[in-house]
Structure 1
Amino acid sequence: SAGMEKVNFSGGEPFLQDRGEYLGRLVRFCKQELGLPSVSIVSNGSLIRERWFVKYGQYLDILAISCDSFNEDVNVLIGRGQGRLNHVENLRKLRRWCREYRVAFKINSVINRFNVDEDMRAHIQELNPVRWKVFQCLLIDGENAGDGALREAERFVISKEEFQGFLDRHREVPCLVPECNDKMKDSYLILDEYMRFLNCREGRKDPSRSILDVGVQEAIKFSGFDEATFLKRGGKYAWSKADLQLDW
């Protein structure tokens, strides 16, 4: 009722609980009950099974798979290693399922110290996602940097110039959507598990009061969201699979 048009479920890994059954019910609720134009998920893809698409694929507009490298050794180095599961082969399988069950396929890549020199053009063109979101590695105090952080990401950080070099190498890829640090931290509306907006403007995730307690209009004042930056980075696009008019 406050005007939400799109919801994106991300993590952590959103398929962890019950192999995605709880997530599937959320996706179905957002489409059937809330009638949202766009429902999407960001996942590493390791826990997704075809039976999930059979049951819930019709309610999902976009599945974004995190893929930071097409080199398995680099994936292990970054922390994307999935044991005996080959990340790249799994990506191809998920791409095939998205096509079969009519879900728009997207790839997210975080560019960092270990993949900044990689050439991903051939792989991206083969997979042909509707969007390839390319992020510059971003430090968030308390999350991946600073005291009490869950993980330390300082060794992954690259400069703006290095990030631009990666973008220049891939500029011919038509689905490329770049996002530097300056665009990222002010242009997202992020809700945590307590339904609090997370403000990233000061380099950390400062929570608002919960929308369950004070409502959307009051809580969003403390979200740090900059609508102009959101629009400038291309945050508004054809995000419903009905509008994408894909050649399945």
Structure 2
Amino acid sequence: MTENKIQSVNWHITGKCNYNCKFCYVQNLSSEIKDLGRIHDILHKLQSTKTNYLDIQKINFVGGEPFLHPHFYEMLKMADDMGFVTSIVTNGSFINKESMPKIAEYTDWIGISVDSVSDEIETTLGRGRGKHVAYSIDVAKLVHEYGLKLKLNTTVTSLTTTEDWHELVDQMDPHRWKVFQMLHIKGQNDSCINTLSITDEQFESFKMRHQDIRLRNDIRPTFESNDDMIGSYLILDPSGRVLSNKDGKYTPFELDYILKNPAAVIDSKKYVERDGVYAW
């Protein structure tokens, strides 16, 4: 892989979701693209732009819940046909024995979001309806069965800072575990800031208690503080615009402009330092 280049993009293809996570930082996004021609055009632009700052190789399809986009499978196949490494970040509720064969045909990575080891707390947070943790373990087993790579995504909130994740991580056996400090994005998750935010010290304590965990291939977990996340992601909204979070809120830019001026929204050094580039 080429060092110090932005090589992945998070495309939040829809704002629709069947869950209601209180801390979600993409609760109020623009309308999704339903025209497959425009979708192809965006993917082609990402594929063809290669500069001393950009070389996009991996597409993370995110939501909302990406499976709720009416053309999700077409988008997934399109990206796979164009040679991208494809990743889905999902709550897992649409993954089962019936859907997995089709998913596996076009997908390299599945990212499952689990934010507590307790189903009760997950329900309080808005993640699922009482069986999210147990179901996620089953989904993880299915992902492994089909030979895809598994990423576990966890957002640490005030309800989970003292939890012990060793057993659950062992049960899910992911290739990567990304642990995030709850991030406030103005205009998206303002209502829960006073109740769910955690301090840098609390996040560091969570990190210190879990950094000994070894994942597949002896990989360590990746921990991202609020500072790590600001200005270190290339984010597309459902309409294909680029979103900058440098100011603690989302500022939209046209894709063509950012492909020529990526430093306006993303710091490549921070991108690399937060393990944005890895063996995918």
8 Å Cα contact 1:62/1:104 also seen in 2: yes
Task: Determine the structure 1 residue equivalent to 2:75.
Answer: 26
- Which aligned pairs between 1:89-128 and structure 2 lie closer than 5 A? 89-128=134-173
Return the alpha-carbon distance in structure 2 between the equivalents of residues 187 and 47 of structure 1: 29
- Which digits, 9 at most, give the CA deviation of each residue in 1:48-76, with x for residues without a partner? 23232212303211101000012111111
- Which digits, 9 at most, give the CA deviation of each residue in 1:71-103, with x for residues without a partner? 1111111111325xx112211211121112111
For the structure 1 residues 215 and 88, does the alpha-carbon distance in structure 2 shift closer, same or farther, using more than 3 Å as the test?
closer
Q: Offset at 1:112?
A: 0.6
Task: Determine the structure 2 residue equivalent to 1:235.
Answer: 276
Moved more, 110-119 or 94-103: 94-103
Aligned-partner residue type, residue 237 of structure 1? Y
Q: Offset at 1:195?
A: 1.3
- State the TM-score, normalized to the length of structure 1: 0.85
Secondary structure of the residue aligned to 1:198 is strand
Aligned-partner residue type, residue 169 of structure 1? R
**What root-mean-square deviation, in Å, do the aligned CA atoms of Structure 1 and Structure 2 show?**
1.6
Unaligned stretches of 5+ residues in structure 1 = 146-150, 240-248
For the structure 1 residues 77 and 56, does the alpha-carbon distance in structure 2 shift closer, same or farther, using more than 3 Å as the test?
closer
Residue of structure 2 aligned with 1:225, choices 261, 266, 270: 266
- State the TM-score, normalized to the length of structure 2: 0.76
Task: Determine the structure 2 residue equivalent to 1:61.
Answer: 108
Unaligned stretches of 5+ residues in structure 2 = 1-47, 50-54, 216-220
- Which aligned pairs between 1:64-213 and structure 2 lie closer than 5 A? 64-82=111-129, 86-145=131-190, 151-175=191-215, 176-211=221-256
8 Å Cα contact 1:58/1:103 also seen in 2: no
Relative contact order (alpha carbons < 8 A, sep ≥ 6): 1 or 2 greater?
A: 2
Matched, 1:8 2:83: no
Q: Offset at 1:126?
A: 2.0
8 Å Cα contact 1:44/1:67 also seen in 2: yes
Task: Determine the structure 1 residue equivalent to 2:83.
Answer: 35
Count of equivalent residues: 223
Task: Determine the structure 2 residue equivalent to 1:148.
Answer: none
Identical-pair percentage: 33
